[in-house]
Amino acid sequence: MSTEPQIVRTQVGIVGGGPAGLMLSHLLSRAGIENIVIEKRDHETIYKTHRAGILEAGSVRMLTETGIDGRVLTHGHRHDGIDLRFKGVSHRLDFQDLVGESVWLYPQNEVFFDLAAARARDGGDVRYSVTESEVLDLETAVPKIRFTDATGQRFEVHADFIAGTDGSQGICKRAIPAQERSDHFIAYPFAWFGILTEAPPSAPELIYAHSEHGFALISQRSGNVQRMYFQCDPAEDASTWSDERIWAELQRRVDGPDGFTLKRGPIFEKMVLPFRSYVCEPLRFGNLFLAGDAGHTVPPTGAKGLNLALADVKVLFEALESFYGTGSSELVDGYSDTALERVWKAQNFSYWMTTMLHSREDQSTFERQRILGELEGVVNSRYGQQYLAEAYTGWPHR
Ligand code: DHB
């Protein structure tokens, strides 16, 4: 095999073939802008990675209005509200009544599956299972991606722009010299224990439960598979928990005078999800642009991660389309500021939902009572409910 890399010329090189990278590739191709996606994992591994399950209305529109031809409308489920539960009492927030929007329960791995199928259908250039990838010459007019493909062939992509959509552990953010970026970061003293169970839904809509024993989220996947989470220690080892112990822990966090009881079934997946808030600023270095988790991470409460990634992609796509259509780099130059405006709103929302719903072991009685006051303030006020509903269903895309 030759050691000389094969040179491939394209307009936009995309590092990372998760939902953000594939959506960007899809939009660019539709606009006639050449692009190549590289991804280190294989299709199967990405598809089997369980992530959050809630799509904002705007994310659904991005899928349905751009010809993804996905199954979100046929296999997803529209949710017009959620339950906020505390002191053992449920309070329904009616999103349609409050803000005239809904969300869709449609897992991220299905979004990936639909996007990958659309790219394959449309002849998109997506290289899975690549190794030895690196990005270089980012501050020049010809930024490059080097990689080895699944057959062992070396490539060097010469592009006008590189999009870093390679997630929080990716190579793109790390290619930005430390003195060229600010890392805004906070850690939390807890994580989520997530399960998948073969059981009927316990309730018609998602339940976000705050209790003295900690937070629990009763989510869903389908008529016979449910997704649930409960707040745990970040060092927790999921494999040591029996089904019985998990059900008891979940149940005591939703217990209340209404006698609400979770519908149990066999648990076939257990995992501990890390928790952090992070923003890289700016989301640009030379001709490298970060989008999605590559540039920022939110804690899972409120399911903003994928939605934020798709919103970044929309802004980045429109900037690139404008550049190739008009020659003006105004929107490209504005990408980071424009995207970060929504990112910081979502950071605040995710942080707020997290701190309002979780409890800390070292919490003072003042803090415990203050949180209950905050929850009462939300559910007893139409304005409070509307703030939550607007953020949860997603601010309008610009
Ligand atoms: C799910 C995850 C979330 O973080 C959330 O806020 C709602 C739902 C889920 O995986 O179903």
Tally of domains within the chain: 2
173 is catalytic: no
pLDDT for 2: 54
- Average pLDDT of the residues in 317-346: 98
Q: Does residue 91 form part of some domain?
A: no
8 Å CB contact between 116 and 145: no
- Do 262 and 368 fall into the same domain? yes
- Average pLDDT of the residues in 151-169: 97
pTM value is: 0.97
The per-residue pLDDT of the chain, averaged, comes to 96
Q: Does residue 212 form part of some domain?
A: yes
Q: Extract the tokens encoding 190.
A: 């807890």
- Do 222 and 325 fall into the same domain? no
CATH of the domain at 347: 3.50.50.60
Q: Work out the percent of the chain whose per-residue pLDDT is above 70.
A: 99
Residues of the domain holding 230: 186-275+360-393
Q: Does residue 96 form part of some domain?
A: no
The answer to whether residue 242 scores a pLDDT higher than 60 is yes
What residue's CA is closest to ligand 1, atom 5?
A: 303
pLDDT for 274: 86
Tally DSSP H helices, then E strands, for the chain: 12, 23
- Do 74 and 138 fall into the same domain? yes
- Each residue of 265-311: pLDDT tens digit? 999 999 999 889 999 999 999 999 999 999 999 999 999 999 999 99
- Do 364 and 267 fall into the same domain? yes
Closest C-alpha among 173, 178, 185 to residue 284: 173
Does 282 sit behind a cis peptide bond, omega within 30 degrees of 0 on the bond before it? yes
Cα diameter, the chain: 71
- Each residue of 110-119: pLDDT tens digit? 999 999 999 9
The answer to whether residue 144 scores a pLDDT higher than 60 is yes
Q: Which of 36-40, 65-69, 328-332 has the lowest mean pLDDT?
A: 65-69
- Do 62 and 194 fall into the same domain? no
- Do 341 and 314 fall into the same domain? yes
Residue tagged active-site, from 26, 40, 77, 79: 79
Q: Does residue 144 form part of some domain?
A: yes
- Each residue of 60-107: pLDDT tens digit? 999 999 999 779 999 999 999 999 999 999 999 999 999 999 999 999
What residue's CA is closest to ligand 1, atom 2?
A: 52
The answer to whether residue 133 scores a pLDDT higher than 80 is yes
> Hey, CA dihedral for 25, 398, 285, 180, is it positive or negative?
negative
The answer to whether residue 148 scores a pLDDT higher than 80 is yes
Residue in the block written with tokens 């939300």: 378
Residues with CB under 6 A from ligand 1: 52-54, 206, 217, 219, 227, 300-303
Residue tagged active-site, from 106, 128, 208, 278: 208
- Do 165 and 249 fall into the same domain? no
